[in-house]
Structure 1
Amino acid sequence: MGKPLQGIKAVEVAMWAFVPACGGMLADLGVDIVKVEPPRGDPLRGLSIGGMGKGAIDFSWESYNRGKRSVTLDLKHEEGRAVLYRLLEDADVFLTSLLPPARRAMGIDEDAIRARFPKLIYASGSALGPSGPDHEKGGYDAITFWARGGISSSLTEAEALHPVGPPGPAFGDTLSGAMLSGAICAAIAKRALTGEASSVDVSLLGTALWSMQRYVCQATADRVQKFPKPAADKPHNVLVGTYRTSDGRFLALCMLQADKYWAPFCEAAGRADLATDPRFADAAARRENISACYAEVTTLFASRPLAQWKDILSRQQGQWDVVQDVGEMKDDVQALANGYLKHVDCQDGTQIPMVGLPMVFDGEPLASTRSPELGANSDAVLAGLGYSEEQIIDLKVQGVVL
C-alpha cells in the first residue's frame, strides 16, 4: 500500500521537538523529508533527559526524526545556502522553526524563499504566532504552551505551592507538530486544487488556546480569570470521575447520561438498593444529596480489586476505563492491534519501540523507520543534486558540509 503523501518532498530546517515532530509525522505519511542540520547537529541530539544513560536510545530524537534523511549544511555560509536552494528546486514544502531574525540573516525568510520558489509551501512553527509584538520571541512548550496557554493554571489547586507541570517531555510540541502537519496537508491540497502555494504558521500558544477553547471562551464571556476546580467529593455527576479500587488502582467513569446508566450500574455492582433509594432516584435527587451519594459510590469501588471491577463494569453499557500507567501501554491490546505502538527494525538484528501515528488508512497502520545519524545522507543527497565528488570534498574542506 502506498503512503498518502508519497511523492511529496519537504526540506526541514528546524531543531528541538515542535517542528521536527511535524516532519516525523509527515515522513510516516510518505513525505520525503530532508532534514538540514548545522555541522554540530540539531541540539536535541545532545539533550540528556529522563535519566538516559550513556549509549541509551534517545526516544525523543527517534520519535520526532523518524524516516528522515540528514544533511549537514552551514547555512551561515554562502555555499551552504546555495546547496539549500538546490535542494528546494524540486521541493514542495519548506519547513522551519528558526526565529525570524535568524531566517532573515540566513536569507531563508519567507520573502526570500518565496521570491525564488513561488510554488513552494512555506511552513513555520512559532512560539507565539506570526503577528503581534511578541511574534519574533522564542519559546518552548513548557513555558509557551503549558504555562502561558493557561493549561497549567487550570490544573493547579488554589493553594498549591507550585503550578502543575507538563505530564512528559515535549507534550505541547507533539500536539503543535500535529497541528502544523494538518496545516501543511491543507496547503498541499489547496495547491493541487488551485495552483496557489500558501505560507502557513502554527504556534505553541495557538495550539494551547485551541486545546483549552471551552474554558477560554467561557472565561472571556463571563469575564472571569480562572475557574475553580470543583471539590473532588462533590461531583456534578457521581458517574463521571475516578474511583480507587481496593488494590490501589483507579477507574475512570464518564457516563454523561446519568439517569440512563445509574440503575444498570447499580444492578451490575450488586447495589440495586442505591437505585431505588429516594435520595438517589434521579439526577436531581443525587445532586441534592451528592455528598451521601458520592460516599456510597466511593465505598463501593473501594470494596473490590480492579480485576473484579473490570468484570462487573463490562456487564453494563456505561462508559468507563482503567487509569493506566505508561508502562502498561505496551500490553494494551487496542494499541497493539491498531499499530499505535510498534517496534521498528534497527537493521542490526534489534528493534526499538515507537509510537505510530494515530491514523489508520484503509485498515492498515503506517510504517515507520528509524531516525538518521548526523549527516548520514549528505554525500548521497549532494550527489543527487549534481555535485561531483570533488565538489563535495571541497564543501567539506570549507566546513559547509560535515
Structure 2
Amino acid sequence: MDRPMEGVRVLEVAQFTFVPAAGAVLADWGADVIKVEHAETGDAQRGLVRVMGLEAISEGTTFHPIMEGPNRGKRSIGLALEKPEAIEVLYELARASDVFLTNFLPGARKRLGIEVDDIRAVNPDIIYVRGSGFGNRGPDALKGGYDSTAYWSRGGSAAGVTPPDSDTLIEMPSGAYGDSIGGMTIAGGIAAALYGRKTTGRTSVLDVSLLGVGAWATQYSVNQALMIGGPPPSRPPTKHGAPTNPLVGAYKTVDGRWLMLCMLQPGRYWPEFCRTAGRPELAVDERFDSAEKLMANAAEAAEIVAEIMASRPYDAWVEALSAGEGQWAPVQGPWDVANDAALRANDMIAKVVDAEGFDRELVTNPVQFDEKGVELTRAPQFAEHTDEILRELGRSDDQLIQLKIAGAVS
C-alpha cells in the first residue's frame, strides 16, 4: 500500500471528531500522529457512551466506534498541559513535528501556551492548523461549536432539507456528520501546505471552520442567493418526480423501500425505463413520445411512474434497474451501506483488530492511492503510548516516574 505521508509527524492537541478526524486520515496515509490527551480526563469524547440514543461501546470490550473512526492509527500520550513539565514535553514533540493540529478555543490555547507564536518559537517551520466552529476572525471567533450547530444548522443544510411546513427540524443523518467531512477537508489542506513548504520553503497557518465547510457543502444554494440578492424562492413541492422530469426523484416500492432516480436526460432514458417497467407502450404514448412532451407532462408521467414503482418490491427493482444505463441508486441505511457491494469491491470497508484482539471493520477515508485499500490499525487506548513516546524523547525511567509523580503525564 502506498503511504505518501510516511515520514511526516503530526502533533494533535484536539478532541471530539472535528480535527481528530483529520489526524486519522493522515495516519491512514502513513503519518505518525501523536494524539495529546489530558493526563487525567483524556479526550472528552471517550465519555460518550450513548450517541443518538444508541450504545456507543461494544458490550464486553473497549471497542468504541466514535473514538475508533477519528483516532485509528494514532499514538496517545497523556499530558497535563497546565503543568510546566508537561508543556516542555509538548514543545519537545513540536520541535520534531511537521504539523501542529488543534481545535482548542483561543482562550485555552493562550492559557496553555500553544498559540501559533508559542509553537513557532520552538519550531519555526511547523505547519500550524486550527479547526474552529466559526472561523478565527469575526464576532464568533471565541465561540465553540459542534457540527449540529455550526455545520448543519448555521451552514444551511438543516434548512435545505426541512420542508417549509414541517413541525420539526430535520436532524443530521449521522453522528459527527459535519465533523467527518470537515476532518477530510483539513487533511487536504495539510497536504497542500506540506507541498507548499517543500516547494517554496514557506510554512503556513491553516484555518478550517465547521461553518465554512457547511457553507461549502450548500454553496450552490448560497451562490444562487448571492446572484439574485435575496433568498431563493421555494421550489414548488411535487409529490413525485421533478417539475419537468418524471425520472428524477425518490419513488417508493411495494415493500416500503425507496429508490432514487436521477436520469437527467428524460428523452434518452424514458424508453429504457418503460421497457424495464414492462410498459413499453408508454414510450410511444402521445403524451410522452418526445422529450418536450415528457417534460411538459412530467407531473402526469410521474404519477404513472409512482404507480409502477409501487407495484414491485425493492429487490426486484434493484435487479431490473441494474440492467439499464439510466442513473439511479437504492436509498440505503447504515447496514446497507456497510454491506454495499461497490464499497466492498473498492476496499472502502476495512478490517481493524481491536484492543482485545477481535476483528472489527471500519469505513475508510475515501481517498485511495494506486488502487490499494487502506490498512487500518486501531485507535489508541487512553495515554497508551505515553512511556514509549517519552523514551523516544530520551527520558529515563527515573524521569518518567518524576513526571508521573508531578501529575504532568499519565
For the criterion TM > 0.5, the same-fold answer is yes
- Aligned equivalent of 1:75: 81
Would the aligned equivalents of 1:154 and 1:226 in 2 still touch at CA under 8 Å? Answer: no
Would the aligned equivalents of 2:94 and 2:122 in 1 still touch at CA under 8 Å? Answer: no
User: Is residue 282 from structure 1 mapped to residue 266 from structure 2 by the alignment?
Assistant: no
Secondary structure (helix, strand or coil) at the match of 2:287 reads helix
- Alignment: residue pair count: 402
Secondary structure (helix, strand or coil) at the match of 1:280 reads coil
- The one-character-per-residue Cα deviations of 1:197-224 (angstroms, maximum 9, x if unpaired) are 1110111000001100000000121233
- The one-character-per-residue Cα deviations of 1:75-108 (angstroms, maximum 9, x if unpaired) are 1111111000111111100000000111011111
Matches within 5 A, 1:192-231: 192-225=198-231, 227-231=233-237
- TM-score normalised by L of structure 2: 0.95
- Aligned equivalent of 1:37: 37
Quote the offset at 1:37 in angstroms: 0.5
- Aligned equivalent of 1:303: 311
Alignment root-mean-square deviation, CA: 1.5
Equivalent of 1:364 in 372, 377, 381:
372
- Aligned equivalent of 1:292: 300
Q: In structure 2, how many angstroms separate the alpha carbons of the residues matched to 1:24 and 1:346?
A: 16
- The one-character-per-residue Cα deviations of 1:151-200 (angstroms, maximum 9, x if unpaired) are 10111111111211111110000000100000000001001111111110
- Aligned equivalent of 1:102: 108
Identical amino acids, percent of aligned pairs: 41
User: Is residue 345 from structure 1 mapped to residue 346 from structure 2 by the alignment?
Assistant: no
Q: In structure 2, how many angstroms separate the alpha carbons of the residues matched to 1:368 and 1:120?
A: 27
Quote the offset at 1:347 in angstroms: 6.0
- The one-character-per-residue Cα deviations of 1:323-352 (angstroms, maximum 9, x if unpaired) are 122112232221112111122123644112
Equivalent of 2:157 in 151, 158, 166:
151
Amino acid at match of 1:328: D
Q: Please list every run of 5 or more consecutive structure 2 residues that lacks an aligned counterpart in the other structure.
A: none
Would the aligned equivalents of 2:251 and 2:260 in 1 still touch at CA under 8 Å? Answer: yes
Amino acid at match of 2:20: P
- Aligned equivalent of 1:5: 5
Out of 81-90 and 348-357, give the one that drifted further.
348-357
Q: Please list every run of 5 or more consecutive structure 1 residues that lacks an aligned counterpart in the other structure.
A: none
Distance 1:245 1:15, change over 3 A: same
Quote the offset at 1:110 in angstroms: 0.9
Amino acid at match of 2:354: C
Would the aligned equivalents of 1:154 and 1:227 in 2 still touch at CA under 8 Å? Answer: no
Secondary structure (helix, strand or coil) at the match of 1:70 reads strand
Q: In structure 1, how many angstroms separate the alpha carbons of the residues matched to 2:153 and 2:371?
A: 38
Quote the offset at 1:229 in angstroms: 4.6
Equivalent of 1:91 in 94, 97, 116:
97
Equivalent of 2:196 in 178, 190, 193:
190
Quote the offset at 1:226 in angstroms: 5.1
Out of 67-76 and 243-252, give the one that drifted further.
243-252
Would the aligned equivalents of 1:11 and 1:88 in 2 still touch at CA under 8 Å? Answer: yes
- Aligned equivalent of 1:385: 393
Secondary structure (helix, strand or coil) at the match of 1:364 reads coil
Q: In structure 1, how many angstroms separate the alpha carbons of the residues matched to 2:357 and 2:388?
A: 25
- Aligned equivalent of 1:14: 14
Secondary structure (helix, strand or coil) at the match of 1:18 reads coil
Amino acid at match of 2:392: G
Would the aligned equivalents of 2:267 and 2:294 in 1 still touch at CA under 8 Å? Answer: no
